[in-house]
Amino acid sequence: MSDGLENVVAAHTVLSDVDGAAGRLVIRGHSLDELAGHTSFEQMVSLMLDGFVPGLPAAKDIPAALGAARRELFETVVAKAALPAELGPVELVRAMTALIPDGEDAGTALRLLAAPAVFTPAALRIRQGLAPIAPDPALSQAADTLRMLTGTAPTQQQAAALDTYLVTVADHGLNASTFAARVVASTRAGLVSAVLAGISALKGPLHGGAPGPVIEMLDAIGEPANARAQLEAALDRGDRLMGFGHRVYRVRDPRADALKGAIRRLGADSGRLALAEAVEQAALAILRERKPNRTLETNVEFYTALLLEALEFTPDSFTCVFALGRTVGWIAHAHEQIAGGKLIRPQSVYVGPQPRQAA
């Protein structure tokens, strides 16, 4: 038995390979360096789902198909659903996603791929008491998401930065949310159910819920000079430093540098980046001192926080943007699991009391 299934192999996959010792991520035969910054969200959809989703449009038709799906979701879900503004953005996106009819077909896959793009900006505006903005199907999914968020057309650099983020987080082996999605898909419950399982697993702070707290940590530190004392105090309280450590990587997460590059290209607030770099250096030094037997390095979530903040997403919505990127991975894994045809059903070892023997 292995706690947390650490080192347990639970699937063979052609989708992605996480080499934790070398700090290397391969997605469908391409290194992250080849993809991040050079590939659009739409191209990633074609790359990831190629051969997995019968009836999926050809690569050249994916942008229009996603645009049509965004418009359909806005008209059938956002404009009609009575949504409680007191729910957080992740709960709102999950609730709206649950209104999509379940299935394993290409239409369901396209709706799910478009869902966080439409539902995240809508959730944020509903919470502010503002009317959601309708999608523009002619735009790329990244550009349209930012337009629905802010109400103005993004710059080409902003849309490119969001594309880089979405591609960077598209797939990552059998992480907790992908495993959850595969378990549900293996029961043949449908892609909507699998994606809802993925969102639910993703939102936890030990997984995709980490970048919001990274912003809280940076705000609390405020100045590079305060970093060491504040981080020491957090560890003394028993807190974990958000954005550091990983189950698989024993070196720096390669996605951290892909995102740092995107932040630089965006020309975002250089003071904020300098603060983040100072906090990162202090955190790594302290973690080395306190956990000399455990290699704890920067993970993807640290620079995710900075990039999504620069793109004007609120920290409580960062997980929704992660879901926007990761949904393609969940759908690809769900279909890979379905194609394998085997229900996921491990064993447990009973360690509780036995019933009394009858006298």
The nearest distance, CB 313 to ligand ACO, in angstroms, is 16
Active site residue 301: yes
CA distance 120 to 198: 16
**What CA–CA distance (Å, rounded) separates 252 from 300?**
9
Smallest gap from Cβ 343 to ligand ACO, in A, equals: 26
Q: Which is nearer to ligand ACO, 140 or 319 (CB)?
A: 319
| Residue from the set 25, 210, 266, 306 that interacts with ligand ACO by CB under 6 A | 210
Residue 208 lies near ligand ACO (rule: CB under 6 A): yes
Closer of 80 and 294 to ligand ACO (Cβ) = 294
Beta bridge partners, 24, equal 19
Q: For residues 245-264, which are near ligand ACO according to CB under 6 A? A: 245-247
Q: How far is the CB of 67 from ligand ACO (least distance, A)?
A: 28
Residues 281-320, one symbol each (x = binds ligand ACO by CB under 6 A, - = not), give ----------x--x-x--xxx-------------------
Please list, in sequence order, all residues whose beta carbon lies within 8 angstroms of the beta carbon of residue 181, skipping any fewer than 6 positions away: 194, 195, 197, 198, 201, 330, 333, 334
Site size toward ligand ACO, by CB under 6 A: 20
Tell me, residue by residue from 69 to 108, as one string, x for binding to ligand ACO by CB under 6 A and - for no binding.
----------------------------------------
CA-angle at 20, arms to 2 and 40, nearest 5° = 120
Query: Is position 206 an interface residue for ligand ACO (rule: CB under 6 A)?
Result: yes
Given the complex with ligand ACO, which of 247 and 335 has the nearer CB atom?
247
CB of 193 to ligand ACO, least distance (A): 22
Q: How many Å apart are CA 275 and CA 116, to the nearest integer?
A: 30
Annotated active-site residue 277? The verdict is: no
The binder of ligand ACO chosen from 47, 92, 191, 241 (CB under 6 A): 241
Secondary structure string (H, E, C) spanning the chain:
CCHHHCCCCCCCCCCEEEECCCCEEEECCEEHHHHCCCCCHHHHHHHHHCCCCCCCCCHHHHHHHHHHHHHHHHHHHHCCCCCCCCCCHHHHHHHHHCCCCCCCCHHHHHHHHHHHHHHHHHHHHHHCCCCCCCCCCCCCHHHHHHHHHHCCCCCHHHHHHHHHHHHHCCCCCCCHHHHHHHHHHHCCCCHHHHHHHHHHHHCCCCCCCCHHHHHHHHHHHCCHHHHHHHHHHHHHCCCCCCCECCCCCCCCCHHHHHHHHHHHHHCCCHHHHHHHHHHHHHHHHHHHHHCCCCCCCECHHHHHHHHHHHCCCCHHHHHHHHHHHHHHHHHHHHHHHHHHCCCCCCCCCCCCCCCCCCC
- Looking at the Cβ atoms of 147 and 255, the one nearer to ligand ACO is 255
Catalytic residue of the set 246, 280, 333, 336: 246
- 240 contacts ligand ACO (rule: CB under 6 A): yes
Cβ closest to ligand ACO, residue 74 vs residue 318: 318
Q: Which of 23, 63, 121, 243 binds ligand ACO (CB under 6 A)?
A: 243
Q: 4 or 55: whose CB is closer to ligand ACO?
A: 4
Nearest-approach distance from CB 211 to ligand ACO, in angstroms: 8
Nearest to 159 by CA among 142, 180, 175, 173: 142
Q: Which stretch binds ligand ACO (CB under 6 A): 18-26, 72-80, 147-155, 201-209?
A: 201-209
Nearer to ligand ACO, 133 or 234 (CB): 234
User: Using CB atoms, what's the residue nearest to ligand ACO?
Assistant: 245
Binding pattern for the stretch 3-32 against ligand ACO, x by CB under 6 A and - elsewhere:
-x----------------------------
Give the residues across from 18 on adjacent strands: 25
Binding site for ligand ACO (CB under 6 A): 4, 175, 206-208, 210, 240-247, 291, 294, 296, 299-301
The residues carrying an active-site annotation are 246, 301
